[in-house]
Amino acid sequence: MSQVFQKNKFVISSFVIVIVIGGMTFGNMSTPSTPTGIQVIAGTTFNFADYPALTHEQIAIINYFDRLVTGQAYNLWDGWHAENYLWALQYINAFLAYPFAGFCETTSGYRTAFYEDFAYSQIRRMNTTIAEYGNDSMEYYEWVSIPGFVDYYFPNATHPDGNDVYTGGFRGPANIMWTGHYALMLALYERNFNFGTMESELSSYIVDWENSTTTDRLGSPKPGGLWGTGLIPCEPYVVFAQCNSIPIYTTELYDNMYGTTYMESGMWDYGLDFIEANITDEYGLYTNGYFVQKPVGWGPNSGLLPQEIPGQAADHLAGGPSLSSYGTAWALTFLEYTIPDITTPKYSTFLDFYGRDISGDTMYMLGSYKHPSSFGDIFGILGTVFTMVLANQRGDYHTRDRLSNLLQNMVNKVWSQDGRELYYDGSSLDPFLSPVLSGFSVWSTLPVTVRDLADARPAEFWDYPFISAADDDNIWVYQAHWDPIKSGFILNIRVDDTAELMFSNFNEIATVYSGGVSIGNLVPVGSDYSLTLQPGTYQLIIMEGT
């Protein structure tokens, strides 16, 4: 990740860890399951269990975040308990955007302003500038406030002459820890809503990354790009497998959405090969970074040297490369789509070296297998939570649950008085852990994974019927999905107060079925159709021409 994480992320790790952990334990807690059922309409069988679903608690947690994300100015973070962690807000924001994208995909037929505003606000919060907000901005928190983080050049970082290449400040090019996350947030927004409003800015990052990884940034091709690694530093000048997994994944999604061929052209091939050859240990597991040259700004102090440069980040206590279970789990999660033949075999090796059993139903991850320690080790906690996310993606729910069992009693669930919001209270550890833990609890239990989101929606998806407007504050949408094979809309919903739902893209008046029996038709409203529901829980099938 970055040298900033090396110092401040120790604390972040604990909250991220706890979050992830909490998230995974969320699945083990005794909570009511989403109701399912089977209905037969005109000879067509609809089994609600065949379609992805959200849980009541997942929706309540997103309701909690909606207040924090959209309920205040983009540069304000009231309720996030981040007073001592302002520099870390970019990570919280990004790692909330990824589960939110999966949340949206789970109920892909429900795309109202509630979802749109949430995702848009996250992007705006990620990109607050000093010019607009002064020191209360992401640019200040993430870059300018860090000692030594200024405008950089390469190879002469801070005293350039005419032969040195500008490599940027806040927006990079040598700041992949921000640009990668920000660009992926833009890409996921377009994947979910297809508005086109983020495409131009997203494209500029893809083009810039290609320039960095395949040329000398002076107009000439160069194997390995500017830094000779085919990768981009988090800050001048350290490259990490996990940090570069984000822009690699973003490029995959970009190609899939827009029909481009950046990945096919080999834009990241050199970097992927470099990772496997230079940022792995003897077992092929990812190590904790590679120094392109001596870092400037927030870098290792002289007391930690010697450090071979260029070379892998060193473990100054045990010798050899520095190891990181959280970095390995993160990289394995995001690289799986691109190189599954390489990452998939690493999974069992990773568990063998880093995993430690406590009992038959409980385990934890070491931060580094060179340093066996108790679960209280910060990097062990971080590794545990990221491994939960990875295990969930791999479908290894047994490992995921064993990891989560260790932490499930560390936090309390707190519901709002009206029952619409829920968060995981991590104040006994650190209040900052509350939003962290709550967000990861959703991510790590969703049926849609990081791997799934790299595929674009088919072009015809945007013509499918969907809920385009609703009284969002009155409803809980567990399932909303158009089945193009059976030509039916599946809606599993709870209504707290009378609510109107507006449907778009139906070509004619559609009939609403409950329990296989018609309960009426949608009502035309201009080119759309309306459905009004009274308080209750409904499992509905909506079909045209029946």
Q: Could you tell me the sign of the dihedral formed by the alpha carbons of 110, 111, 114, 115, in that order?
A: positive
| Contacts by 170-173, CB closer than 8 A, 24 or more apart | 170/139, 170/142, 170/143, 170/144, 172/208, 172/232, 173/208, 173/209, 173/211, 173/212, 173/217, 173/226, 173/232
> Cβ–Cβ contacts within 10 Å for residue 519, how many?
12
Bridge-based pairing of strands 355-359 and 488-495 is unpaired
DSSP 154-201: ESSSSS--TTPEEEEETTEES-HHHHHHHHHHHHHHHHHH--STTHHH
- Report how far Cα 96 is from the mean position of its chain's Cα atoms: 6
488 pLDDT band, cuts 50/70/90, is very high
Burial code (b: 16+ CB inside 10 Å, e: under 16) for 78-99 equals: ebbbbeebbbbbbbbbbbbbbb
Helix (H) or strand (E) holding 95: helix 89-106
Q: Are 271 and 187 in contact (CB under 8 A)?
A: no
Q: Is pLDDT above 90 for 305?
A: no
| Contacts by 365-368, CB closer than 8 A, 24 or more apart | 365/325, 365/329, 365/403, 366/325, 367/323, 367/324, 367/325, 367/326, 368/315, 368/318, 368/322, 368/323, 368/324, 368/325
Claim to verify: residue 451 and residue 475 sit in the same structural domain: no
Please indicate, yes or no, if residue 266 is contained in any of the structural domains: yes
Q: Which residue has the higher pLDDT, 84 or 124?
A: 124
Write the secondary structure of 514-535 as one string of H (helix), E (strand) and C (coil).
ECCEEEEECEEECCEEEEEECC
Q: Are 537 and 37 in contact (CB under 8 A)?
A: no
Please indicate, yes or no, if residue 319 is contained in any of the structural domains: yes
Instruction: State the pLDDT at residue 304.
Output: 53
Number of H helices, E strands in the chain: 17, 21
- C-alpha distances out from residue 268 to 147, 232, 334, 451, Å: 31, 10, 14, 18
Q: How many domains does the chain have?
A: 2
Instruction: State the pLDDT at residue 191.
Output: 99
Average pLDDT over residues 243-248: 98
Instruction: State the pLDDT at residue 545.
Output: 82
Average pLDDT over residues 106-122: 98
Average pLDDT over residues 159-172: 83
Claim to verify: residue 386 and residue 529 sit in the same structural domain: no
Instruction: State the pLDDT at residue 32.
Output: 59
Please indicate, yes or no, if residue 441 is contained in any of the structural domains: yes
Quick check: helix, strand or coil at residue 353? helix
Instruction: State the pLDDT at residue 296.
Output: 66
Claim to verify: residue 314 and residue 334 sit in the same structural domain: yes
151 pLDDT band, cuts 50/70/90, is confident
Tokens at residue 11, please? 């604390």
Q: Is pLDDT above 70 for 19?
A: no
DSSP 269-329: HHHHHHHHHHSB-TTS-BBS-EESS---SS---GGG----SSEEPB-TTT-SB-B-HHHHH
Q: Is pLDDT above 80 for 15?
A: no
Claim to verify: residue 513 and residue 393 sit in the same structural domain: no
| pLDDT digits 0-9 by tens, 72-83 | 999 999 999 999
Q: Are 375 and 387 in contact (CB under 8 A)?
A: no
Average pLDDT over residues 226-235: 92
Instruction: State the pLDDT at residue 147.
Output: 74
306 pLDDT band, cuts 50/70/90, is low
Q: Is pLDDT above 60 for 10?
A: no
Please indicate, yes or no, if residue 150 is contained in any of the structural domains: yes
| pLDDT digits 0-9 by tens, 371-412 | 987 566 667 878 888 999 999 999 999 999 898 888 777 788
Please indicate, yes or no, if residue 463 is contained in any of the structural domains: no
Claim to verify: residue 484 and residue 383 sit in the same structural domain: no
| pLDDT digits 0-9 by tens, 460-484 | 999 999 999 999 999 999 999 999 9
CATH of the domain at 379: 1.50.10
Longest Cα–Cα distance in the chain:
77
11 pLDDT band, cuts 50/70/90, is very low
Report which of 121, 113, 119 is spatially closest to residue 72, judged by C-alpha positions.
121
Tokens at residue 99, please? 């589960």
Of the CA atoms within 13 Å of residue 413, those in its CB half-sphere come to 18
Report which of 285, 273, 350 is spatially closest to residue 320, judged by C-alpha positions.
285
Claim to verify: residue 504 and residue 445 sit in the same structural domain: no
190: left (phi over 0), alpha (psi -120 to 50) or beta: alpha
Claim to verify: residue 447 and residue 495 sit in the same structural domain: no
What are the beta bridge partners of residue 531?
501
Q: Which of 112-121, 341-350, 431-440, 444-453 has the lowest mean pLDDT?
A: 431-440
Please indicate, yes or no, if residue 462 is contained in any of the structural domains: no
Bridge-based pairing of strands 152-154 and 412-415 is unpaired
Please indicate, yes or no, if residue 86 is contained in any of the structural domains: yes
Q: Which residue has the higher pLDDT, 141 or 33?
A: 141
Q: Is pLDDT above 50 for 21?
A: no
Q: Is pLDDT above 80 for 543?
A: yes
End residue of a domain, out of 457, 478, 503: 457
Q: Are 324 and 365 in contact (CB under 8 A)?
A: no
Claim to verify: residue 427 and residue 498 sit in the same structural domain: no
Q: Which domain holds residue 175?
A: 3-457
| pLDDT digits 0-9 by tens, 326-381 | 999 999 999 999 999 999 999 999 999 999 999 999 999 999 999 987 566 667 87
Write the secondary structure of 186-197 as one string of H (helix), E (strand) and C (coil).
HHHHHHHHCCCC
CATH of the domain at 522: 2.60.40.1180
Claim to verify: residue 50 and residue 7 sit in the same structural domain: yes
Claim to verify: residue 84 and residue 229 sit in the same structural domain: yes
- Report how far Cα 286 is from the mean position of its chain's Cα atoms: 20
Q: Residue 378 is which amino acid?
A: I
Q: Is pLDDT above 50 for 18?
A: no
Q: Are 153 and 163 in contact (CB under 8 A)?
A: no
45 pLDDT band, cuts 50/70/90, is very high
20 pLDDT band, cuts 50/70/90, is very low
Claim to verify: residue 89 and residue 237 sit in the same structural domain: yes
Q: Which of 301-310, 317-326, 496-505 has the lowest mean pLDDT?
A: 301-310
Instruction: State the pLDDT at residue 7.
Output: 38
